[in-house]
Amino acid sequence: MGRLIRRPCSDGTQRALVVRVLCATILLVAALGAGALRPAPTSAAVGPVAQAFSPPAGATDISPLLPIWVKFSTPIDAATLTADTFYLTPLGSSTKVPATLTYIAAQKRATLVPTTLLSNGVTYRATVTAGIKDTDGNPAQSAWDWTFTIAAATPPDTFVDMHPGDPYYTAIQSLYEAGIVSGDDGPLGLEFRPNNPVWRQQFAKMVCGVLDLTVIEGMTSPFTDLEANNPTKLYPNEYVAAAYANGITTGTTATTFGPYLDISRAQVVTMVVRALEARDPSLLSPPPVGFIGAWGVSFSPVHGPNARIAEANGLLDGLPLAGAANDPWAPMPRGEVAQVLWNALQKLTP
């Protein structure tokens, strides 16, 4: 490379042609084609920002039961979501409200749930700091905050057997306000009876309510063990038919539904997972590699995998999985059912 090559010119004289520059040019072009001399790429990655949040900034008359959440622009590292990076304080105070934090990776959404009821008429400030990082380690572009005000008065408890601080209180109260669950008359007023079991046909109506499915008179299913259809009401036949039409239930057999059987935890979990996946497959993320879950997977080839998906995606948050709720085949009490449906409803909120 770089040798002097002599070639005869047309007039017979010898002229030296220096090809060093030519060789160098050829090598440069080859190097650029191979990427060897391309400039190092500059990182275009930016940290997460808030795409949406709730309650709305400046909102007033907010229910103390409304969850506080932030949806990020990019997936975040859940380990950076702490009480120091996402928190709530009364306006003008530095005292943080005790709360639990959860993160739904599929929705890129972090939720803050106060462990005590927020005070009526008080304005709160929600703060997200730059300590939040995305999964590539990029910090949030900036800290941000917003305020909202709790309603001056909270309506009295709907159910005489449910009070703030009770297990599943927020889920039950919120589902009642949304028209998804109801109660029964008792000697002192309306009762929810959170420890009672739930019939399979009752759950069909509940899950249809969570998904806001269209249920109309005349819908049918292949199940022959339902009561005779009453054209003046939709429950239970049309709700069961809607659940079947949307792939939420396949029945206890091809032709039976078991409408008066107590629904088990495993059945609830499978129906909720099917419901969310049918609505939008992106709502639920695959469980992490090696994730087993509290119930394991060997207890059922059908329900085991769905239980893993449910637990990994927060659908079982709030349940005592290591205690009273450790048996997937046992009937799921109404309180637990309400919590699972409330968790599912949060995933359907934009």
Task: Give 10-residue mean pLDDT values along the chain (350 residues).
Answer: 41 40 39 38 67 89 84 93 96 94 85 88 96 93 93 79 89 91 91 97 97 94 95 96 96 97 98 95 90 92 96 94 94 98 87
pLDDT at 184 (0 to 100): 93
- What predicted TM-score, i.e. pTM, was given to this entire model? 0.67
Q: Are 294 and 229 in contact (CB under 8 A)?
A: no
The pairing of beta strand 14-18 with beta strand 4-8: antiparallel
Tallying the residues shown for the chain, one arrives at 350
pLDDT at 1 (0 to 100): 44
Q: What CA–CA distance (Å, rounded) separates 130 from 80?
A: 10
Nearest Cα neighbor of 103 from 297, 319, 285 is 285
CA 285 to chain centre: 9
Indicate the helix (H) or strand (E) that contains 124: strand 123-128
pLDDT at 224 (0 to 100): 97
Q: Are 48 and 143 in contact (CB under 8 A)?
A: no
Structure tokens that stand for 11 in this block: 């007039």
Structure tokens that stand for 321 in this block: 């999985």
Q: Which CATH architecture has domain 50-149?
A: Sandwich (2.60)
pLDDT at 345 (0 to 100): 92
Residue corresponding to tokens 């930016």: 46
Q: What CA–CA distance (Å, rounded) separates 160 from 209?
A: 23
Q: Are 133 and 139 in contact (CB under 8 A)?
A: yes
pLDDT at 191 (0 to 100): 95
pLDDT at 44 (0 to 100): 53
Q: What CA–CA distance (Å, rounded) separates 172 from 15?
A: 96
pLDDT at 102 (0 to 100): 87
Indicate where the chain has its CATH 2.60.40.1220 domain(s): 50-149
Q: What CA–CA distance (Å, rounded) separates 98 from 89?
A: 9
Residue 188, classed as helix, strand or coil, is coil
pLDDT at 89 (0 to 100): 97
